[in-house]
Structure 1
């Protein structure tokens, strides 16, 4: 089975369209999204509509949850979020807010006798950062019941073997933090003969289009810069 795992689109429709074209070329069996469809970017309704139209299996991210709550419940109260949260709440159509509200928080699958757990942040908290060399990541992987943990939220793709338990972070489609304005996602090739192979892909896109949209809408300069540079 061939699975594409995507996350952290953050209302960037141009990055999503470009990435889905690459995924279609990969001829995957299914796509799984780990959340944060909205926040930061200017196209929340368009992104949700595309995810729904493509019938992409999706779980809820921390920014999705805060937008549903209209509170800083799962995001930090920063100058950028003080703009982005109310802007997204006001922009989002009610049907799309209800869609986000009803998304599950985790997904568990058994494929080829391996148990997979898909989360946005961590198995413990939707907004917990799991970096591959973090002490909290090591503790979570020690106690993990499943064979493979797939997460996101950090916007930094990586994979690591923890004594036979596999940690995978698929990175970010729409707002990377890799120092480049490119989308990242991962492909899982799983079969009984070869086990599992993990490929992390980095895909460039025409980021100037979203920069133009954000500028026209008077988004804060630091937020625009983060999309352009691929950094916080």
Structure 2
């Protein structure tokens, strides 16, 4: 069983299209989206439309939840977010806002007798950051009852074994923070009783196109520049 975990698309339709094309070449059996379809990027409606058309199961991310609330409920009140949040709320179609509102916050599925829990931030909070070596991750994995926990939100891919349990963060499709502009996602390979394998993919995409689109819409320069540098 080969599972692709994608997340943090953040209104970047060009990155999403490139990642889905890459997934098509990887003999993937199941795709799971861990949320944050919107925020930062200029194509929230197009991203949601593609996810819905492909019938990809999806969680609600913290930015999705804040857009639904039209408030800084789960995101930081920064100069960039003070522009992006109202812009996205205004841009998003009512049907797509309803779609985001109805997304679950977590999902637990079983593949090859392995129980996998998918979350956006953590099992505790939608906006908690879980890095592979952080104290918070160790705390959560100590009490985690499944076999594999897959999280997102940090925009940084990574994984770590905790005894017989596995923690994975799948990175970010639409706003990677690797110091490179490439989109990232995770492939989880589960074959019977063998130890699950994790592979992180970096996918080049036409990041200059999203930067040009954002410039035409007068998005903040610091936000635009981050797509080329692969930083916040």
Give 1:40-189 correspondences, 5 Å limit. 40-189=40-189
Q: CA RMSD in A?
A: 0.8
Query: Alpha-carbon deviations, 1:154-185, whole Å to 9, x = none?
Result: 00000101122100000000001110111000
Give 1:213-232 correspondences, 5 Å limit. 213-232=213-232
Give the Å deviation of 1:115: 1.1
TM-score by length of 1: 0.98
Give the Å deviation of 1:193: 4.5
Distance 2:30 2:145 in 1: 24
Q: Which residue of 2 aligns with 1:30?
A: 30
Structure 2 counterpart SS, 1:83:
helix
Structure 2 counterpart SS, 1:57:
coil
Structure 1 counterpart SS, 2:214:
helix
- 1:3 and 2:16 are equivalent in the alignment: no
Distance 2:182 2:100 in 1: 25
Distance 1:77 1:103 in 2: 24
Distance 1:192 1:182 in 2: 32
Distance 1:172 1:86 in 2: 22
- Aligned pair count reads 232
Distance 1:194 1:24 in 2: 24
Distance 2:49 2:113 in 1: 34
Give the Å deviation of 1:111: 1.4
Q: What residue ranges of structure 2 are gaps of 5+ in the alignment?
A: none
Moved over 6 A (4+): none
Q: Which residue of 2 aligns with 1:21?
A: 21
Q: What residue ranges of structure 1 are gaps of 5+ in the alignment?
A: none
Structure 2 counterpart SS, 1:9:
coil
